[in-house]
Amino acid sequence: MQLYPHLLAIVLSLFITACADGNSNNAKPDIVVPLGTAVTLDSGPIDGQASERAESWEYLGIPYAAPPVGELRWRAPRPVVSWEAVREAKLLPNFCPQFLYFSNQFAGAEDCLYLNVFRPRTQERDLPVLVWIHGGGNNNGDTGQQTPAYDGARLAQRGNMIVVTVQYRLGALGWLLSSALQGDDPLDNSGNYGTLDLIASLQWVQANAEAFGGDPENVTIAGESAGAANVLTLLISAHAQGLFAKGIVQSLGGNVNSAQRALQESQSLVDDLMALEGVRPQPMSNEELAAYLRGVDPQTLLALANTSEIIGDGDVIPAQGYALFDSGEFPGKVPLLFGTNKDELKLYTNPLGFNTYPDGPEALRAAVGRYLSDAWRVTGADRLATSLRGVDDMPQLYVYRFNWGSTDEDGNSPLPGNFGDTGGAFHSSEICFMMGNEDTFIFPAFTNIFFNEGNAASRATMSEVMVSYWSNFVHSGDPNGNSLPVWEPWSNSEGGFKAVTLDVAYADNSPRVESDPSVFTEEGVYAAARENLEGEVLAEVLRRLDDWFGRG
């Protein structure tokens, strides 16, 4: 067995001291193994590598649960099988099966329950841990192959923390409640397999954080969009309690589905599958149907199913869902940092994005982009903050609005062309900055289009501001410090502090962090749309708002 030279010196000194004392019965002091690329987990030894992006070590593709394949499809995650030989941890893992929108194809593998760990290249221990849960509507996403902006090496170094990025089952493989899959295990029966994956990853962090020099008692769960929704479900799930101390919720997107609706959706999936494959129409037993479903290839399954909402099964997730944030009757009362982007929906109406109105006039694109972005702020930030601040024993809440990229009051934007108007601070655009990856656009194919020499200084400033605020919060539960402008917690009192806007001054690339006293409400968004729009544009915006707020 090869020892590090300085570790060998420690061992020899302890041996000599014990002999000099003449007391071989004394308990030997614990040996602190130096931190580095070699780490011994509870499941076996791994070897990582030095990051090329930062002064950090990275450990990639670590399994935190058994592959959910075959008989383990649609079951709660099972423990990893231990190993003895050193396992290489130097490549990003396979991502979970999904449809890739921009390349118009299905890809991924069911053997996808892996995570990555990043930590500073130092010997400092008891570092806080940030667990990043990717977005993608619970239908898409991974830990870096498709989205390099999720690389945690720079955030680990700049924020002096351990960053864990985790994958979880997606779509109908991650959320499916079917009577045919019911058995003796309540967790297997929940339908919330993606949620259970995330809980298993947090249990893995508790068991292994110290091996990387981390503090298992100081874990922050963070996510964006559907990842943010997953953070909220962990707050209300009794099964996740004790596994984290703080939460970050960026651009919340998603909700909790009722068990009744989830059962109806699974039956529709079964009907569609059998019609597609010409399966005999006579009834199957639950055992036969379960075996049939577990034999369907993922691409066929995901092509037919649109079941990716978290399920209020009454065990893993309470049936009341996010309504518990109004009553205050949820277990995960921890400090929260959350907010939305100014132009969330413009990514969807922009031709370079999802282009939801390919033949629509620019006035329609602009109106939907604006008022649906305002609606996103209502449901993703202001309404949630108001409800949670009304809970007596709720810790502090820090709320933001991310503005970088949006056209300012003088008509200027750091983004080229007219993208400040048509794209702006769109959904997910804040991620590269808070991760310290301001050189990588959230969609890599567009990096050279939108990130250029002209906005390099602006991007560096925005990243410095966000990494500092987020890191302070991860360390202490308070984003303030580092000579940053003061960010006060949300107050429900009239005239009390609400949120900060995060931006950069266009003229000199200095931080522009200001108080935003507004409180956006559902009624206010409708009123503004009716006041400023008319005709078919107004009708379409009102229809979209009805869908957004569940009035349809």
Q: What is the pLDDT of residues 193-233, one digit of tens each?
A: 999 999 999 999 999 999 999 999 999 999 999 999 999 99
Token readout for 283 is 């009834």
Q: Which residue has the higher pLDDT, 444 or 93?
A: 93
What's the whole-number mean pLDDT along residues 322-331?
Answer: 96
- Cβ-count burial of 328 within 10 angstroms (0-12 exposed, 13-18 middle, 19+ buried)? middle
pLDDT number for residue 280: 66
pLDDT number for residue 5: 34
Query: Measured between alpha carbons, how far is residue 176 from residues 75, 170, 283, 407 in Å?
Result: 10, 10, 20, 42
SS in 3 state form for 262-289?
A: HHHHHHHHHHHHHHHHCCCCCCCCHHHH
What's the whole-number mean pLDDT along residues 279-290?
Answer: 81
State the helix-helix crossing angle for 259-277 and 286-295, rounded to 10 degrees: 70
Q: Residue 31's pLDDT band (boundaries 50, 70, 90)?
A: confident
pLDDT number for residue 509: 97
Token readout for 362 is 């620019």
Share of the chain above pLDDT 90, in %: 85
Query: Measured between alpha carbons, how far is residue 382 from residues 252, 401, 516, 520 in Å?
Result: 11, 10, 11, 6
pLDDT number for residue 308: 82
Question: Which residue, among 58, 57, 56, 76, has the nearest Cα to 66 in the 3D structure?
Answer: 76
Token readout for 251 is 């651009």
Domain spans of the chain? 35-333, 335-552
- The answer to whether residue 17 scores a pLDDT higher than 80 is no
pLDDT number for residue 287: 93
Question: Which residue, among 171, 242, 152, has the nearest Cα to 202 in the 3D structure?
Answer: 242
User: Could you read off the pLDDT of 343-359 as tens digits, one per residue?
Assistant: 999 989 998 888 899 98
pTM: 0.93
Question: Which residue, among 516, 511, 420, has the nearest Cα to 467 in the 3D structure?
Answer: 511
User: Could you read off the pLDDT of 385-439 as tens digits, one per residue?
Assistant: 999 999 999 999 999 999 999 999 999 999 999 999 999 999 999 999 999 999 9
Q: Residue 15's pLDDT band (boundaries 50, 70, 90)?
A: very low
List beta partners, residue 250: 224, 339
pLDDT number for residue 282: 67
Share of the chain above pLDDT 70, in %: 94
pLDDT number for residue 142: 96
What's the whole-number mean pLDDT along residues 278-284?
Answer: 72
Question: In the CATH scheme, what is the homologous superfamily, with its name and number, of domain 35-333?
Answer: Alpha/Beta hydrolase fold, catalytic domain (3.40.50.1820)
- The answer to whether residue 281 scores a pLDDT higher than 70 is no
User: Could you read off the pLDDT of 350-392 as tens digits, one per residue?
Assistant: 988 888 999 889 999 999 999 999 999 999 999 999 999 999 9
- The answer to whether residue 143 scores a pLDDT higher than 90 is yes
Residues 6+ apart with CB under 8 A from 130: 152, 155, 159, 161, 162, 163, 164, 219, 220, 222, 248, 474
Q: In the predicted model, what is the mean pLDDT of the chain?
A: 92
- The answer to whether residue 298 scores a pLDDT higher than 60 is yes
511 within 8 A of 467, measured Cβ to Cβ: no
Token readout for 107 is 């890809």
Question: Which residue, among 438, 415, 435, has the nearest Cα to 426 in the 3D structure?
Answer: 415
State the helix-helix crossing angle for 226-236 and 193-208, rounded to 10 degrees: 70
- Cβ-count burial of 551 within 10 angstroms (0-12 exposed, 13-18 middle, 19+ buried)? exposed
- The answer to whether residue 12 scores a pLDDT higher than 80 is no
